[in-house]
Structure 1
């Protein structure tokens, strides 16, 4: 049984009629520009963003402000992205995150300064 999404943007907050095209688990979606990935997916009827590592329980956004980490997805091949903090972009490839994912270590360049005594 399909029901309409209960998540709807407040009309006064939708400032543009421009849309962007993206995919979620290889399913094409057109969503309003300027909103977060989490909001766009919820508005599109997506209710399962990830699964927990131990019990594989389904998870979806809870706080919508980056505190709870329930909205983790892989965006353009990068895992552990908080979808509530990232704005949608044209061509974005989003996949649900299944279980635990390793963090991607990206060392920053370090400049060594020699101290003369």
Structure 2
């Protein structure tokens, strides 16, 4: 079921763009060419985009304007891509980030 907004109370009717297919964590989805990856995932009811590197807690869209970096994903092998700012293209392979194998060291402990 698509959660896509097609008629906005302020913006009016939103014309759909060319449909494209992409994968997220090895599952195939459909989105609209040029829309932000985060929007395409949200429209497909995907809420968790990655997991915190140290604590493994789920992360999703937070600011949605490119400031917070919570929506980082790996796109076609490139890590750290902000999904809220990256336009969706046909055939993109998108993966979420998981917990790192080694805990991240607290920078304070190395400066005391």
How does the TM-score come out when normalised to structure 1?
0.74
For the structure 1 residues 17 and 35, does the alpha-carbon distance in structure 2 shift closer, same or farther, using more than 3 Å as the test? closer
Instruction: Name the structure 2 match of 1:95.
Output: 95
Please give the residue correspondences for 1:66-77 in structure 2 after superposition, counting only pairs within 5 Å: 66-77=66-77
- Structure 2: gaps of 5 or more residues: 101-112
Structure 1 residue runs of 4 or more that deviate by more than 2 Å after TM superposition: 7-17
Larger Rg: 1
Per-residue CA deviation, residues 49-72 of structure 1 (Å, 9 max, x unaligned), is 111112100000111100111101
Counterpart check, 1:79 vs 2:79:
yes
1:13 shift after superposition:
6.0
Q: What is the root-mean-square deviation of aligned Cα atoms in Å?
A: 1.8
The aligned counterpart of 2:5 is 9
TM-score (ref. length: structure 2): 0.77
Structure 1 counterpart of 2:64:
64
Q: Distance in 2 between matches of 1:10 and 1:62?
A: 22
Gap runs ≥5 in structure 1: 101-117
Report deviation, 1:37: 0.1
1:20 CA displacement: 0.6
Which deviates further from its counterpart, 26-35 or 88-97?
26-35
Question: How many matched pairs?
Answer: 96
SS at 2:90 equivalent: coil
